[in-house]
Amino acid sequence: MEFLMGNKHVPVLALFCIASWEMQLSTVSATTINFGNDLQSSVSVNCHPKEADPWTHVLKPFTVDSWELSEATFCNVTSDEKGCTDAFAIYDPKRDSVRCPLSCQWDVVDSGVTGRPDDYLTPPDIFFNWKKPKVAENEASKDGEI
């Protein structure tokens, strides 16, 4: 016990351990993802977290839903009216820990899905355009429309 009390490095080591532990806790904190649907029809948001089960949310027209994410999560959006998007990172810790550390805003719009680092104060910086489903393209080509 006298060894620990007389060693001037023990308090410094203890402070270092506490600081390291707090830094690890802060890196695990979740980011709020706000996802809005600005279309006149419902959309399905199908997501696949890196280390969790996939999930789907259906957003009614002109609504917003929110999720807390702390791991890489990829989603695609499907609209009966517009088509679908390719899978995209709705949350990427490497990108979003700096871009939008507290909350990220995503919106379904006429041209596709847009992402911004905050609630409408900054222009969108990420875009994903609608794509027509492959089945619809094949059926249309059979009818001679393509």
The per-residue pLDDT for 4 is 52
List Cβ neighbours of 49 (8 Å cut-off, separation of 6 or more): 55, 69, 71, 72, 73
Instruction: Pick 141 or 128 by higher pLDDT.
Output: 128
Structure tokens at 33: 């993802």
pLDDT at 9 exceeding the cut of 90: no
Would the pLDDT of 10 be above 90?
Answer: no
- Whether the CB-CB separation of 129 and 85 falls below 8 Å is answered with yes
Q: Is the pLDDT of residue 20 over 80?
A: no
Q: Among 36-40, 67-71, 139-143, which is the least confidently predicted range?
A: 139-143
- Using alpha carbons only, what angle is made at residue 79 by residues 78 and 85, rounded to the nearest 5 degrees? 40
- Average pLDDT of the chain? 82
pLDDT at 54: 95
Distance in angstroms (rounded) separating the CA atoms of residues 96 and 20: 22
Tell me what percent of the residues of the chain surpass a pLDDT of 70: 70
The pLDDT confidence band at residue 47, using thresholds 50, 70 and 90, is: very high
Does residue 98 carry a pLDDT above 60? Answer: yes
CA–CA gap between residue 141 and residue 125 (Å, rounded): 35
